[in-house]
Structure 1
Amino acid sequence: MADHIDGVSSMATRQILAELAALYEQATGSRVAIRPMGGVEAARLVRAGEPTDIVILAANAMEQLEGEGHILPGSRAGFARSGIAMAIRSGAERPAIDSEEAVKQALTAARRICYSTGPSGDHLLRLLDRWGLAETVSRRLLQAPPGVPVGAMVARGEAELGLQQLSELLPIQGIEILGPLPSEVQATTVFTAGIARTSARPETARALIGFLNADQAQEAKRRYGMEPA
């Protein structure tokens, strides 16, 4: 009987993992089911002892989970790197975001700014604090619920600007991606994969993690707006 591998991941990596899981099934006959969800919810399930084999989340969350005993020691491996991009509703006026000052002006001028519960949202809040704009802009911030793409809310007109991982924005219809944040205000999130303490098949999980980082997996990462880790 072929192995059945379960996993949980953040929404940011869902498209890459769906494609790679299908390739792994074709190559090995092992069934792979990785559930994408908001990173906060995924970490909560892992902490609650949810039976699963692999976990793919932002590196800082994975480090915490391993430190708490929820990830097998030494099993973590880099999976992909992702930068933050900004988007508007299709057809809306395109603000410049080619410099730190331009990004600052775009955020200051926007009537509503949507951000996520994940690393990109945390980074936005840090930027606003750094610029002394936290209090000024706070009433115009709209946080997308866990698992809800920021781009979807921008497409519906609920916000003028949206910031999230590029991989999260790319598949959304009804938006235009202005581009990645400029280097001086960019933040790269590294996503890592690890074996859950609850895994009943850790060696099979280890083999899948190896496949996710094999040469044939790298093109899919780039196609969906990420880079190999």
Structure 2
Amino acid sequence: MRFTSTLTRRVIGGLLLALLTAQAALAADIRVVTSGAFTEAYKKLVPLFEAATGHRVISSYGASIGNAPDSIPSRFARGESFDMVILSEGGLEALMKDGKLVPGSRVDIVRSQIGAAVRKGTPKPDISTVAALKQTLLNASSVAYSASASGTYLSTELFAKLGVQERLAQTGKKILSERVGAVVARGDAELGFQQVSELIYFKELDFIGTLPDEVQQTIFFSAGLVQGAQQPELARQLLRFLTSPAVAETVRATGLDPVAQGTAGAAK
């Protein structure tokens, strides 16, 4: 009986070792590049996916649009290799149009809104109404905004709509390859605007709210599969995890609104 028990343990142990070896052999690297708004949620979720699957996600980061050296369009222009990309809907559609992504592979992951913050301990200006936002922009000595999707909206549409474009030509600062929050936190700008999810994690900042509904821009951040991806099936697996109901609360905690996949696209 003791012999049988010992043999059984050895057989089970051998099978487990074989399974673990097989899993290690099947484990692979998934290369992903993501833009700033989804970064905090992404950094929380990817380690969970890696632990559950044994796969490794190799991550890169950059702005959705623009020509900064680390922006996603610049990375593609240099020929950097990825399996999946996560960025603003406009940036994704531009890559899709350029033939960089698999047609029909877009999946909307989250919605994001634009907010504002000031350095902790400094006066909190009012942006709760359109009139208050306009006056705050006119009064601010320096206003930082992103070189990516949110900043493009502010600088090319909203400032002109509010009639503050001439003032912001003097006080506005477009921030490249860095989060707006970092600039405001060290005192290089009085007021900063960016996606809420990119501002709320700076302990050195006071978040003062989102843009008024009348002038808010809600942006989808979406994923797409890259043409010629080395691991397309594993990228789909990661994407299903990132959009699953099980992770929705984690995503919401980072200042984003998960998109219900019943009303969004599915990776193909």
TM-score normalised by structure 1 residue count: 0.95
1:13 aligns with 2:13: no
Partner of 2:158 in structure 1? 127
1:216 aligns with 2:241: no
- Contact conserved, 1:47 with 1:70, CA < 8 A, in 2? no
- Contact conserved, 1:89 with 1:154, CA < 8 A, in 2? yes
Structure 1, gaps ≥5 residues long: none
1:76 aligns with 2:76: no
- Contact conserved, 2:64 with 2:149, CA < 8 A, in 1? no
1:111 aligns with 2:141: yes
1:137 aligns with 2:168: yes
What amino acid maps onto 1:140 in structure 2? T
What do the CA deviations read for 1:103-144 (whole angstroms, capped 9, x no partner)?
011001001000111111112111111122212221101111
Partner of 2:80 in structure 1? 50
The correspondence of residues 111-190 of structure 1 with structure 2, limited to 5 A, is 111-125=141-155, 126-146=157-177, 148-190=178-220
Residue aligned with 2:45, SS: helix
1:228 aligned to 251, 254, 258, which one?
Answer: 258
1:4 aligned to 24, 29, 34, which one?
Answer: 29
CA displacement at 1:185 relative to structure 2: 1.4
Partner Cα separation in structure 1 for residue 167 and residue 223 of structure 2 = 38
What amino acid maps onto 1:138 in structure 2? A
- Contact conserved, 2:87 with 2:223, CA < 8 A, in 1? yes
What do the CA deviations read for 1:70-119 (whole angstroms, capped 9, x no partner)?
00111110111110111111111111111011101100100100011111
CA displacement at 1:47 relative to structure 2: 3.6
Partner Cα separation in structure 1 for residue 257 and residue 76 of structure 2 = 26
Structure 2, gaps ≥5 residues long: 1-24, 66-70, 260-268
- Contact conserved, 1:82 with 1:226, CA < 8 A, in 2? yes
Partner of 2:117 in structure 1? 87
What do the CA deviations read for 1:1-39 (whole angstroms, capped 9, x no partner)?
202101101122111111111111122111112212222
Partner Cα separation in structure 1 for residue 85 and residue 149 of structure 2 = 17
TM-score normalised by structure 2 residue count: 0.82
Higher normalized contact order (CA 8 Å, seq sep 6+, divided by chain length): 1
Count how many residue pairs are aligned between Structure 1 and Structure 2: 228
Partner Cα separation in structure 2 for residue 12 and residue 80 of structure 1 = 9
Partner Cα separation in structure 2 for residue 226 and residue 32 of structure 1 = 22
CA displacement at 1:49 relative to structure 2: 2.7
What amino acid maps onto 1:189 in structure 2? I
Partner Cα separation in structure 2 for residue 174 and residue 107 of structure 1 = 21
Partner Cα separation in structure 2 for residue 13 and residue 199 of structure 1 = 21
Percent of aligned pairs sharing the same letter: 37
Partner Cα separation in structure 2 for residue 198 and residue 169 of structure 1 = 35
